[in-house]
């Protein structure tokens, strides 16, 4: 068993931001390509195999206790949530640096006391990364699709039990490495589709692009300048489209064999078209920062620190307004420990400070959170996981405050 195959359940990793789409897509591609090119990606060892393709079929059951299912300050309501589920995945290691993973999950979320929230779901989980090396060039074709109902990752939301949506990104990246120079560019098409009418005003498509010029002073270390931009079109005629452009320097640095960091920062500009409630164009001049540092303390313990100051699409609407954007400053620390050949544990801490214009009044809030995760592989086919998360949102608008605790137990069998 690979000791670093860690399942994170309500532990590290629940803080995510869909922000400055083109730039974030480029950064995620950097991490993914680094993992593939350095051999950090490993195809699954378990499962059924036919030639180069590995199949994994898993059935499982999850039991979750949430002490505030509607994310409210007052009139808190708790519930037990039962989730039987099944997943199927096929993974093909096409080349040393390329992987195609196609997966789908089906399940049912049953609330013991809030049957109106019961939901049958089909969850696509597909990732395609195909690298085509041509002399000094590497051309990557990729697609990623996902489905989620998670509310915790969206700090601006309060008073909502679910945020159901489908997201898909498809595109390409071209990377040219002549001698010590780095020239890269790419394009991506992103779709956001809500599941239901409650958040249909967020349905949109984005065209994203980026260009990067840099210099490498070591195999895994480089610095330069990057430009990214996106054009976002909303499906609703009531919404105004928007465009954004970001420019700034970047550094990726392999400090030691056990430590590395990446740093991006600069200026960003957003332009918002008039909508049904605001009959005039608007713009936002702001700045961004993204720092990721990773360190392997021992063969069994790793840690990471992330700092970010980003702009993302707004998520709220109200009487007489659509939220245009959210400005967020966040920090997250993660620790992972492979304490046994069959067991892994993890924890994380996060802080978030954000501001969102809501109908002429800015809501400013802070969020604090801690998460714990544990996984144990009982046999080659059977494994279980447990997780705990606490989140506190403190808003300058008392109505949007909440405190939340979630405990989850999960058991799975992989054929």
Q: What integer pLDDT is reported at residue 9 of this predicted model?
A: 32
Q: What angle do CA 330, 333, 336 make, to 5 degrees?
A: 150
Average pLDDT value for residue range 249-274: 95
State pLDDT tens for residues 44-99. 555 677 777 888 899 999 999 999 999 999 999 999 999 999 999 888 877 766 77
CA nearest to 173, candidates 159, 183, 158, 163: 183
Residue 240 DSSP label: P
| Residue 182: pLDDT band with limits 50, 70, 90 | very high
- Taking 80 as the threshold, does the pLDDT of residue 184 lie above it? yes
Tokens 């400053």 identify what position?
A: 329
CB 222 within 8 A of CB 208: no
350 CB contacts (<8 Å, ≥6 apart)? Answer: 14, 15, 330, 331, 332, 333, 367, 368, 369, 370
Which H or E element spans position 232?
strand 221-234
Q: What pLDDT, on a 0 to 100 scale, did the predictor assign at position 41?
A: 47
Summary mean pLDDT of the chain: 88
Helix segments in 137-262, DSSP class H: none
pLDDT for the residue 42: 46
> What pLDDT is recorded for position 359?
80
| End-to-end CA separation in angstroms for the chain | 16
**Per 3-state DSSP, what percentage of the chain is helix, strand, and coil (rounded to 5)?**
5, 65, 30
The Cα–Cα gap between 195 and 189 comes to: 20
Model confidence at 328, pLDDT cuts 50, 70, 90, reads very high
How many Å apart are CA 334 and CA 339, to the nearest integer? 16
Q: Which residue has the higher pLDDT, 400 or 32?
A: 400
Residue 296: other Cβ atoms inside 10 A: 17
Mean pLDDT of 162-176: 92
Share of the chain above pLDDT 70, in %: 90
8 A C-beta contact, residue 155 and residue 393: yes
Sorted by sequence, the CB contacts under 8 Å of residue 179 that are 6+ apart come out as none
Under 8 Å between Cβ of 290 and 264 = yes
In sequence order, the β-bridge partners of residue 232 are 206, 242
Question: What is the DSSP secondary structure assignment for residue 398, as one 8-state letter?
Answer: G
Helix (H) or strand (E) holding 29: helix 21-37
Contact between 120 and 84 (Cβ < 8 Å): no
Give SS3 for 8: coil
Closest C-alpha among 175, 112, 167 to residue 145: 167
DSSP SS3 for 155: coil
More confident residue, 357 or 127: 357
On the question of pLDDT at 376 being above 80, the answer is yes
Tokens 């949102």 — which residue?
393
Three-class SS string for 34-52?
HHHHCCCCCCCCCCEEECC
Q: Which two tokens stand for residue 402?
A: 């909440």
Tokens of 334: 């993660």
The pLDDT score that the predictor gives to residue 38 is 52
Domains present along the chain, CATH in parentheses = 21-303+410-414 (2.40.160)
Count of beta carbons in the 10 Å neighbourhood of residue 40: 11
Residues 56, 91 contacting (CB under 8 angstroms): yes
Q: Are 326 and 311 in contact (CB under 8 A)?
A: yes
Q: CB-based burial of residue 180 (10 Å sphere; 0-12 exposed, 13-18 middle, 19+ buried)?
A: exposed
Number of H helices, E strands in the chain: 1, 22
């Amino acid at each position: 068993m690979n000791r670093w195959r860690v399942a994170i359940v309500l532990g590290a990793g629940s803080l995510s931001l869909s922000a400055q789409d083109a730039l974030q897509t480029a950064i995620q591609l950097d991490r993914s390509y680094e993992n593939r090119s350095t051999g950090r990606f490993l195809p699954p060892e378990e499962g059924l195999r036919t030639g180069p393709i590995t199949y994994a079929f898993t059935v499982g059951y999850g039991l979750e206790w949430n002490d505030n299912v509607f994310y409210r300050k007052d009139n808190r309501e708790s519930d037990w949530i039962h989730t039987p589920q099944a997943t199927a995945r096929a993974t093909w290691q096409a080349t040393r640096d390329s992987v195609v993973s196609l997966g789908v999950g089906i399940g049912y979320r049953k609330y013991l006391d809030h049957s109106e929230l019961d939901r049958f779901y089909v969850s696509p989980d597909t990732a395609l990364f195909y690298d085509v090396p041509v002399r000094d060039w590497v051309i990557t074709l990729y697609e990623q699709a996902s489905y989620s109902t998670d509310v915790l990752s969206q700090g601006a939301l309060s008073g909502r039990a679910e945020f159901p949506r489908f997201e898909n990104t498809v595109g390409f990246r071209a990377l040219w490495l002549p001698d010590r120079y780095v020239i890269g560019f790419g394009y991506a098409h992103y779709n956001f589709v809500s599941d239901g009418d409650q958040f249909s005003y967020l349905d949109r498509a984005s065209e994203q692009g980026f260009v990067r010029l840099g210099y490498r002073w070591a195999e895994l270390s480089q610095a330069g300048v990057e430009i990214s931009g996106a054009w976002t079109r909303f499906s609703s005629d009531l919404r105004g489209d928007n465009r954004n452009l970001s420019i700034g320097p970047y550094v990726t640095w392999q400090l030691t064999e056990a430590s590395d960091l990446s740093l991006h920062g600069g200026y960003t500009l957003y332009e918002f078209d008039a909508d049904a409630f605001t009959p005039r164009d608007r713009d936002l001049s702001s700045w961004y920062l993204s720092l990721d540092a990773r360190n392997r303390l021992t063969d069994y313990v790793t840690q990471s620190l992330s700092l970010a100051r980003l702009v993302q699409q707004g998520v709220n609407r109200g009487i007489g307004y659509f939220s245009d954007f959210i400005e967020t400053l966040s920090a997250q620390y993660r620790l992972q420990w492979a304490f046994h050949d069959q067991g892994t544990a993890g924890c994380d801490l996060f802080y978030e400070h954000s501001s969102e214009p809501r109908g002429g009044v800015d809501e400013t809030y802070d969020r604090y959170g801690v998460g714990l995760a544990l996984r144990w592989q009982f046999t080659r086919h059977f494994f279980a996981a447990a997780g705990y998360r606490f989140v506190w949102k403190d808003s300058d608008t008392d109505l949007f405050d909440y405190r939340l605790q979630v405990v989850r137990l999960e058991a799975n069998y992989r054929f």
